[in-house]
């Protein structure tokens, strides 16, 4: 699985002009299941992201996790993280998991993150979503479970 993690002061997701998820300080996680991924990759990322120390401590160092700051996470499915751009100018997405598998892993990942005692809000898999965020820092981290 691939993830882009952004430290945010606030974030929200809207579908059909309705806000379906909103958080204050915490993380916005864009997540993509790749072909061949299974629950082990989702478990790994959920545990890693919950404990990722990218929030400032009292000394101004990135030494605190979303758990440490009692923050929340907004999880958004984003198959475009599977983009293949090495040929031509139109990205290909054939390495993304098929939709049914991708949705199952997206849901499982969000559930596993919530199981780490992190409050989780979600987007709507496959929907046309509008995501707003106030990036804090900015801090943006790329993770790929295949690179562990």
Active site residues: 78-80
Considering Cα of 93, then 96, then 101, then 106, what sign does the dihedral take? negative
At 80, is the secondary structure helix, strand, or coil? Answer: helix
d(CA 90, CA 57): 42
Token match 């923050």: residue? Answer: 71
d(CA 41, CA 118): 18
């Amino acid at each position: 699985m691939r993830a882009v993690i952004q430290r945010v002061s606030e974030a929200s997701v809207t579908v059909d002009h309705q806000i379906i998820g909103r958080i204050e300080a915490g993380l916005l996680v864009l997540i993509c299941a790749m072909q061949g991924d299974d629950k082990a990759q989702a478990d790994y990322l959920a545990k890693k992201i919950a404990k990722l120390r990218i929030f400032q401590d009292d000394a101004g160092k990135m030494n605190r996790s979303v758990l440490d700051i009692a923050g929340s996470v907004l999880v958004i499915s984003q198959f475009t993280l599977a983009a293949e751009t090495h040929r031509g100018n139109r990205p290909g997405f054939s390495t993304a998991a098929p939709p049914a598998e991708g949705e199952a892993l997206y849901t499982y990942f969000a559930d596993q993150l919530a199981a780490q005692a992190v409050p989780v809000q979600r987007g709507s898999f496959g929907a046309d979503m509008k995501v707003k965020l106030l990036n804090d820092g900015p801090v943006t981290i790329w993770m790929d479970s295949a690179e562990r």
